[in-house]
Amino acid sequence: MTTNGNAEVPEPHQWKDRLGSLLGGKLSREIDAFEGQIEQKREGKLSDEVFAEMRLRRGVYGQRYDNGQRHDGLSSRELDFPNAELTKGPGTLWDAPGMVRIKNPFGAMTADQMDVLADVGEEYADSILHVTTRQDIQLHFVHLEETPDLMRRLGAAGITTHEACGNVVRNVTACHLSGVCTTQTFDVTPYATAVSDFLLGHPDAQEFGRKVKPAFSGCADRPCGLVKMHDIGGIARVREVDGVQRRGFEFYVGGGLGAVPHQAALFDEFVPEEELLPLCQSISRVFAKLGEKDVRSRARLKFLVAKLGIEEFRRLVLEDREGLAHDPRWTAFLDDVHKGNDGPLWQIEGGNSFEASPEMEAWLGANVSSQRQTGYKVVMVYLPLGDITSDQTRGLADVARRFTGDTVRMTVEQNMALRWVRESDLPEVYQALVELDLADARAESITDITACPGTDTCKLGISSSRGLARTLMDHLDESNQELDEVIRGLRIKISGCFNSCGQHHMADIGFWGVSRKRNGYNVPHFQIVLGGQWSENAGSYGLAIVAVPGRNIPAATDRIIQHYVDQREGDEGFQDFIARVGKPAFRTLLQDLVEVPTYEEDRSFYSNWGDPREFTLGDMGIGECAGQVVSPVEFGLQASEREVFEAQDRLDQGDSSGAADIAYRAMLIAARTLAREKQSGLGEDPEEVVDAFKTHLFDTGLFHDPYAGAKFGTYLFRVHGEGKNGFEATPERARQRIEEAQLFIEAAHSYHVRTAEVLPV
Amino acid sequence: MTTQAAPEAEAPVLSEPQRLGVKLFLQDQEMFDRDRMIELFHRWIQEDRLPGTLIDVHDYTHVPGGPGVLLVAHEWHLRTDEAGGRIGLEYELKREGTGTVAERLRGAVLSLLEAGAALEQDTSENNPVRLGVGEMIFRFSDRLAVPATDAAFDEITNELENLFSDIYGDTQFEFERVGHERGPLTIHAKGLGDGDWTVEGLVSGARPSAG
Ligand code: SF4
């Protein structure tokens, strides 16, 4: 008993007791077991590594500063947590707030689930639900010890965090319009559900070296499913077989973004629906058996497919498929699929005429589209940077109950879609959304910017992706009224580092965060990426053209847009325009924006957007060195970057072999620049340069990235080896080499920043 | 419709909340300046201006009705909350609270007043920010301990009356349940009459020794 004033009250009920009956035995036991593991870790009975994998598989992540170190703008400080000695992973403090990722297959939620998400977001996090580009929800600032209750509450509502992270099959994504889309071949929802259910916890999908991300799309042309950037993915197809219309999937494998993006390879033009689950099972088995396990940076499925070649990979998968023992679940779901569920969830009553205010007209134009079912609409709810409050979520749940037949889906552009809205209900829906501050008429426009968490919460963030996104939104808003329709439809996507969680490769205008040493200080920059294709399921990836200081990105964006407006021919699209004008023209256009004023002239260049602290890399907290202004190393690295740019240009002109050679040369220049500091008089012979780099920088571990380890250094050895062993430069392989050269040079910059910082002033 | 709040009939009415928020409103809503608040909160971390393990600052001002600028500490969150369309300063106890329900309420109010006093003081030289202290919002984001029920409302308002008599003397307060029907128990406390209060002046009344 505890006392409340004078009155005695019983101990509070526990969520475990309260929700036990709603959870189901298996889930309840799993969460209890996780709670037991937390206790074991606290008692020192589990290693950091083992416990970290356990919590990651349950969607419980670390978050920035969880090593207990933070640079406060003046100095690096230790965060004084109560359990200072206790850890929840390697270098991760027990009390440090963390992130929880919640898996919602294809982003679907019921109104009841939204209520529970609102509750847990408010109680255990900061009252914000963050929608990710993979249709998940993330909560930030959650304490480890509160996660079992959080999971119980979600579990009781039919939501899981299980396998939201870790080296397993992640959330299965699918177009948010599935079932209601005007261009779909058929509704992929039941297939996405079946794959999600089948692979969750499947014994054949537990031994991967890295994660596997699946996606489904109802058609080939539009971007909602983004199949070609996923590890496995299917685009809906119908084929006539023996006079019968059969459903199936154009099936892709080995796509992915990350540091080196890969376009998925076509596995089969038509996988019949009954083969979908066994095929996914066999792919899992082959990946588990042959995928890289030790070198994390080469462990994604894309590397296995690239290594084996798609033909050999296909052969191995089909061979495995032959030997699989039959599982009734492979086809059990199809009975329900063929019962058909394409009809309206609501009946239409009354007419559709209504008067709309100018604001509502704008909203109708930007956020509302027609369903394939006459009289029904999809209403897109724009969420700024994917964020929605708990209060708004509850309110939106009310709207979903009242107007949608209880279906909401999150989108890969971090918005929420209300489906099955009767046209006649639009005025009321609009009014309800206005009251919730959720009727902003900018969904899927240039100011609906996608950004990864970046330096806000991600441990790997270099530049502030969300800070830049907020700035760009405000900046573009000011000129929004004058924006041409073609500009309005462009997409901007931002990542805080090369890992591309913000999907910058597929944007019309993409940015990813890098750091540059300028005037003796670290300066946050963004690489500008042009030429990506969002449509056709992420049809092609863009390439970086130049790194510009963060402060100059709004100006650079204006110039790119204005150049397009001024110079485009007729109805020329943005991608065509980029291809016609060529990247060198953009580099010239932006050249003066690359300059960084001195610290004394403008200190704002030395901070991230939205963060007044002086910029430091990774909050390492080592004092700044203002001793050098421009070093020979900076010159050398800039020279290597220019070579990369040449390589990109050569690739654009169709010369893959020339492009690959130049990219290799760029890596050698960067390696030599650094190695020459250790070995004066080092010549230009590639063998000598690689040897010197290996001896002085790689074998000593000096070049290793604090997070990625030896990864970037090994790129040089591999590319150098390829030169000796004969390299067949296909466009795809040349493009990859350019990306790797870029990352190697980035790592050289980081090395330079790290080592320059410890020089005495 | 499911709500995971405790059913009224079986609820123990109240136990000690682990999480509890208190908010004061800005007197002049126009005085809110995002960049200034971000800078101020970062400075508070540098200076250890408030008790606790101060971690980081987050900008949520892009979210209408959201947490605004958020100062995250291990034990609490402090934010320029915009809920309900009115900007204020909200202190939310997140963990490590101690004592009875009354003691936790007092602790949260005191922490908010101290943070409010720091805010007023640190902006005093240029466009000072002033907080209105004649009304407060209490939000109990701990449904296990404080269910959103009429019985819990009654108990909490009893506790608040005791607390407010220490802080505000004889001034009467009216209490109203506000917020979404499925939201956490949220109470708007409003002083009747025009007291001549200041944030700084109320701090001493909120200290336990005065109670
Ligand atoms: S892109 Fe980089 S900074 Fe952004 S979330 Fe991914 S790892 Fe973090």
- Domain boundary assignment for chain A: 20-156, 188-336, 342-435
Binary contact (B1, A613; C-beta < 8 A): no
Residues on chain A touching B38 (C-beta within 8 angstroms): 610-612
Residue A113: left if φ>0, alpha if ψ -120 to 50, beta else—which one? alpha
Binary contact (B183, A391; C-beta < 8 A): yes
The residues near A535 (Cβ < 8 Å, ≥ 6 apart) are A221, A222, A223
Q: Which of A74, A123, A156 sits opposite B46 (nearest CB)?
A: A74
* Mean local confidence (pLDDT), A262-284: 95
Please, what's the largest Cα pairwise distance for chain A?
85
Mutate to test the interface with B, among A3, A4, A465 (most CBs of B within 10 A): A4
Mutate to test the interface with A, among B1, B15, B23, B76 (most CBs of A within 10 A): B15
The residues near A450 (Cβ < 8 Å, ≥ 6 apart) are A133, A386, A413, A414, A469, A491, A492, A493, A494, A502, A503, A507
Residue B9, pLDDT score: 46
* Mean local confidence (pLDDT), A91-108: 92
pLDDT band for position A538 (cuts 50, 70, 90) = low
Q: Which long-range contacts (CB under 8 A, 24 or more apart) does A453-456 make?
A: A453/A130, A453/A138, A453/A140, A453/A496, A453/A501, A454/A494, A454/A495, A454/A496, A454/A497, A454/A502, A454/A513, A455/A64, A455/A496, A455/A513, A455/A608, A455/A611, A456/A64, A456/B58
Residue A42, pLDDT score: 95
Residues on chain A touching B152 (C-beta within 8 angstroms): none
* Alpha helices (H) in A221-343, listed in sequence order: 276-290, 301-308, 310-323, 329-332, 334-339
Is A435's pLDDT higher than 90?
yes
pLDDT band for position A406 (cuts 50, 70, 90) = confident
The two three-digit tokens of residue B70, written as one number: 């958020």
Is A331's pLDDT higher than 50?
yes
pLDDT tens for residues A46-65?
A: 899 889 888 988 889 888 99
**In terms of pLDDT, which residue wins out, A454 or A294?**
A454
Whether residue B21 lies within 8 A of chain A, CB to CB, comes out as: no
Beta partners for residue A279, in sequence order:
none
Name the residue with tokens 């190697």.
Answer: A744
Whole-angstrom distance, CA of residue A316 vs CA of residue A148: 40
Residue A756, pLDDT score: 65
Question: Which of A231-235, A633-637, A673-677 is least confident?
Answer: A633-637
Nearest to A202 by CA among A89, A261, A283, A271: A283
* Mean local confidence (pLDDT), A680-690: 87
Amino acid at A659: A
Environment class of residue A221 by beta-carbon count within 10 Å: exposed (0-12), middle (13-18) or buried (19+)? exposed
pLDDT band for position A625 (cuts 50, 70, 90) = very low
The two three-digit tokens of residue B99, written as one number: 């004592």
Whole-angstrom distance, CA of residue A610 vs CA of residue A522: 17
Q: What is the pTM of this model?
A: 0.87
* Mean local confidence (pLDDT), A140-155: 96
Residue A635, pLDDT score: 66
Residue A347, pLDDT score: 63
Indicate if ligand 1 lies below 6 Å from the C-beta of A713.
Answer: no
* Mean local confidence (pLDDT), A516-540: 82
- Element (H or E) spanning A269, and its range? strand A265-272
Q: Topology of domain A188-336, per CATH? A: Sulfite Reductase Hemoprotein; domain 1 (3.30.413)
Instruction: State the nearest Cα–Cα gap between A285 and chain B, in angstroms.
Output: 40
pLDDT above 90 covers a percentage of chain A that reads 57
The residues near A366 (Cβ < 8 Å, ≥ 6 apart) are A441, A442, A443, A444, A445
Three-class SS of residue A374? coil
**In terms of pLDDT, which residue wins out, A181 or B186?**
B186
pLDDT band for position A668 (cuts 50, 70, 90) = very high
For the CA atoms of chain A, what is the radius of gyration? 26
Indicate if ligand 1 lies below 6 Å from the C-beta of A467.
Answer: no
Whether residue A126 lies within 8 A of chain B, CB to CB, comes out as: yes
Question: Which of A126-135, A324-333, A419-428, A679-688 is least confident?
Answer: A679-688
The two three-digit tokens of residue A530, written as one number: 């042009």
In a 13 Å sphere around the CA of A192, the CA atoms on its Cβ side amount to 31
Amino acid at A154: L
CA A185 to chain centroid, in Å, comes to: 27
> Which CATH number, 3.90.1690, 1.20.58, 3.50.70, 3.30.70, labels domain A20-156?
3.30.70
Nearest 5°: phi and psi at A215?
A: -150, 150
Environment class of residue A723 by beta-carbon count within 10 Å: exposed (0-12), middle (13-18) or buried (19+)? middle
Is B14's pLDDT higher than 50?
yes
Residue A207, pLDDT score: 83
Whole-angstrom distance, CA of residue A13 vs CA of residue B144: 7
Whole-angstrom distance, CA of residue A512 vs CA of residue B165: 56
Residue A482, pLDDT score: 61
Nearest to A97 by CA among A126, A73, A72: A126
Q: Are strands A492-495 and A509-518 parallel, antiparallel or unpaired?
A: parallel
pLDDT band for position A152 (cuts 50, 70, 90) = very high
* Mean local confidence (pLDDT), A529-550: 81
Whole-angstrom distance, CA of residue B82 vs CA of residue A381: 20
CA dihedral A459, A464, A467, A470 (to 10 degrees): -100
* Contact criterion met (CB below 8 Å) for A235 and A266: no
Amino acid at A411: T
Q: Are strands B20-26 and A509-518 parallel, antiparallel or unpaired?
A: unpaired
Whole-angstrom distance, CA of residue A127 vs CA of residue A140: 9
The two three-digit tokens of residue A361, written as one number: 């007209």
* Contact criterion met (CB below 8 Å) for A268 and A252: no
The two three-digit tokens of residue A668, written as one number: 């050698």
Name the residue with tokens 């937390």.
Answer: A38
Is B8's pLDDT higher than 50?
no
Nearest to A347 by CA among A430, A420, A426, A417: A420
Q: What average pLDDT is seen over chain B?
A: 91
Nearest to A59 by CA among A159, A158, A197: A159
**In terms of pLDDT, which residue wins out, A667 or A634?**
A667
Q: Which of A5, A126, A401 sits opposite B100 (nearest CB)?
A: A5
Whether residue B126 lies within 8 A of chain A, CB to CB, comes out as: no
Instruction: State the nearest Cα–Cα gap between B196 and chain A, in angstroms.
Output: 30
Is A8's pLDDT higher than 50?
no
Question: Which of A19-33, A188-202, A233-247 is least confident?
Answer: A19-33
> Which CATH number, 2.60.40.10, 3.40.50.300, 3.90.480.20, 3.30.300.210, labels domain A342-435?
3.90.480.20
Residues A621, A622, A627, A631: is their CA dihedral positive or negative?
Answer: negative
Sheet-wide strand order for A137-142: A60-61, A98-102, A137-142, A128-131, A387-389
Is the ipTM, as predicted for this complex, more than 0.85? yes
Is A481's pLDDT higher than 70?
no
Question: Which of A206-220, A333-347, A469-483 is least confident?
Answer: A333-347
